[in-house]
Amino acid sequence: MGYNEPAPEGFSWPGGKKLGLSIVVNVEEGAERRIDEGDKRPEPVDELGAVPGKPIRIHGNESNYQYGINRGAPRVLKLLDEAGAPATWTVCGQALEKAPWLAEAIMARGDEPCNHGHKWAFTAFMSPEEERAFIERGTKSIETTCGRKPAGWLSRYLHTDITRRILIEQGYGYHMDDYSDDFPYWAQTEMEDGSTKPIVVLPYAIDSNDMKFWLAPAFTAENWLTYAKETFNWLHKEANEDGARMMSLGLHLRIIGRPGRIDALRKFLAHVSAHKDVWVAKREDIAAHFAEQVPAP
């Protein structure tokens, strides 16, 4: 398998289902850049519209992130429970260290913690040694809070030429910094000794992500719901006509968890629940099923 190649003929998800849905809940709150934690500057992403150029502490921004833990997380958990929908939680280790109750809730559901770094930081500017240590620190943090090792990795926007090599070295099963397809694929990765090894790539999606609310204040909950449902509908149609597909829905506690947005998630989950031929699954299960059905080249 490679870029732009269709799903193998006859491929299906468990139970003969043709569309797999991955719900990804990002947990970054508590791991953002903060002056009081030694970062050189505060986190610039801010709905308050007041990010000064000077490296000073922004208490309002910190509380804006904290809202995701205090109110957003319980709302998201409640809706996922009501829908009986498993999810993958791309967690920053430090976020769960500050909110151990959330780690317990994630594991009580039988959900999957995916490594999103220890802090919500860019690895693209790190040396190879720093990147290895950063990924490993996130792994160990999640092992402590969740009681298990994560199977997958998601960078903060950017990754390096050797990220996949490091993931293979550290025993990871899949990588999700990819937006090239609606179906998994194997990526051959050059190792330090010159050999190549494969890793499963599970493409993610930006267009259906709730981050649009953060970047475009005029974007409404109805806009997002319509787009998410139409994405689902089209992939469901393609999956049943042309071969298996996978959809990713990215969420953030501080974003979708707001009172004016959370009902859009409830409506989307209800829409999915009306389709009995869809496999809603954790990403580690999607990667494992793909690897079992499609041998590595």
The domain limits of the chain are 21-293
Sign of the dihedral through C-alpha 16, 203, 185, 285:
negative
Tokens of 188: 């051959």
Q: DSSP class of residue 231?
A: H
Tokens of 276: 């009995």
Tokens of 262: 């959370």
| Strand partners for 187 | 199
Helix, strand, coil abundance in the chain, percent, nearest 5: 40, 15, 40
Rounded to an integer, what distance in angstroms lies between the CA atom of residue 119 and that of residue 117? 5
3-state SS class at 9: coil
pLDDT tens-digit profile of 215-237?
Answer: 887 899 999 999 999 999 999 99
Q: Are 183 and 167 in contact (CB under 8 A)?
A: no
pLDDT tens-digit profile of 63-84?
Answer: 889 999 999 999 999 999 999 9
- The contacts of residue 297 (CB under 8 Å, 6+ apart) are 1, 186, 188, 198
In order of 31, 179, 223, 234, 253, the CA distances from 75 in angstroms are 20, 28, 20, 28, 9
Tokens of 191: 């190792």
Q: Which CATH class is domain 21-293?
A: alpha beta
Q: For the range 232-236, what are the long-range contacts, defined as Cβ-Cβ under 8 Å and sequence gap of 24 or more?
A: 232/21, 232/268, 232/271, 232/272, 235/19, 235/182, 236/18, 236/19, 236/275, 236/278
Sign of the dihedral through C-alpha 189, 191, 194, 196:
negative
Q: Are 160 and 138 in contact (CB under 8 A)?
A: no
Nearest to 46 by CA among 65, 31, 27, 30: 65
How does pLDDT run along the chain (297 residues), one tens digit per residue? 444 466 888 899 999 999 999 999 999 999 998 988 988 888 876 555 666 667 888 888 888 899 999 999 999 999 999 999 999 999 999 999 999 999 999 999 999 999 999 998 889 889 999 999 999 999 999 999 999 999 999 999 889 899 999 999 999 999 999 999 999 999 999 998 889 999 999 999 999 999 888 788 789 999 999 999 999 999 999 999 999 999 999 999 999 999 999 999 999 999 999 999 999 999 999 999 999 999 998
| Strand partners for 112 | 88
Tokens of 38: 């030694």
Q: Are 43 and 57 in contact (CB under 8 A)?
A: no
- The contacts of residue 213 (CB under 8 Å, 6+ apart) are 219, 224, 255, 256, 258, 261
Q: Are 184 and 202 in contact (CB under 8 A)?
A: yes
Tokens of 170: 């550290």
Is the pTM above the cut of 0.85? Answer: yes
Rounded to an integer, what distance in angstroms lies between the CA atom of residue 56 and that of residue 34? 9
